[in-house]
Amino acid sequence: MDIKKQQEDLVTSIKNELSLKSKIYKPSLYLDSVWFQPKTGRFLFNDTFKRYEIVEPLIECGVLIFKGIENHQDEKMLRYVLSLNENNQILKNPNLFE
């Protein structure tokens, strides 16, 4: 699968999880965030490793933004989230996958 398709699938998965948000359902941190694990130097999404070539360009172009350092899987990791407006649209590069 090519990198652009994998990037699109990653963003779509996160947007789908966020679209389920309601007063009684809070999106899972496993499914609404991309994590950087410093000890391995790898990115995680849904607790599976994602290739650097997939995630890094999304950070560089502002689609994924740094949210902070948080505990995930009992260790400190860098958390990245989608840069979205209140309508669940990507703020930067909204036509990235068109």
Q: Where are the domains of the chain?
A: 3-82
φ/ψ of 70, rounded to 5, equals -140, 160
Q: What is the pLDDT of residues 46-87, one digit of tens each?
A: 989 999 999 999 999 889 999 999 999 899 999 999 987 666
Which percentage of the chain shows pLDDT scores above 90?
50
Distance in angstroms (rounded) separating the CA atoms of residues 69 and 59: 16
| Neighbouring residues of 6: CB distance < 8 A, sequence distance ≥ 6 | 50, 51, 54
pLDDT band at 37 (very low <50, low <70, confident <90, very high): very high
